[in-house]
Amino acid sequence: MSEYDHELDVRGLNCPLPIIKARKAINALKTGQVLRVLATDPGSVKDFEAFASQTGNELLESDEGGGEYMFRLKKA
């Protein structure tokens, strides 16, 4: 099994679109499933931290490399 159940590519989109699309994607998952998000917006780091704490979903991983950001969120 992979480290995630669904992948969302929001590269090239700016706030608030990555969060809006991530909210829709994670709502479609079952409890315990993991959403992997790929983004390019530098603001997405703080956005996804806030999103996780506000929604109760768990931010398992946040990684940055080469101007791209990767997040793994576990649905509460």
Which tens digits make up the pLDDT trace of 36-76? 999 999 999 999 999 999 999 999 999 999 999 999 999 99
Q: Which of 15, 45, 59, 70 is catalytic?
A: 15
Catalytic status, residue 15: yes
- pLDDT classification of 25: cutoffs 50, 70, 90: very high
SS3 string, the chain, reads CCCCCEEEECCCCCCCHHHHHHHHHHHCCCCCCEEEEEECCCCHHHHHHHHHHHHCCEEEEEEEECCEEEEEEECC
Give the tokens for residue 75.
């649905």
Predicted TM-score of the model (pTM) = 0.95
Enumerate the domain spans of the chain. Answer: 13-31+47-58
What distance in Å separates the CA atoms of residue 42 and residue 5, rounded to the nearest whole number?
A: 24
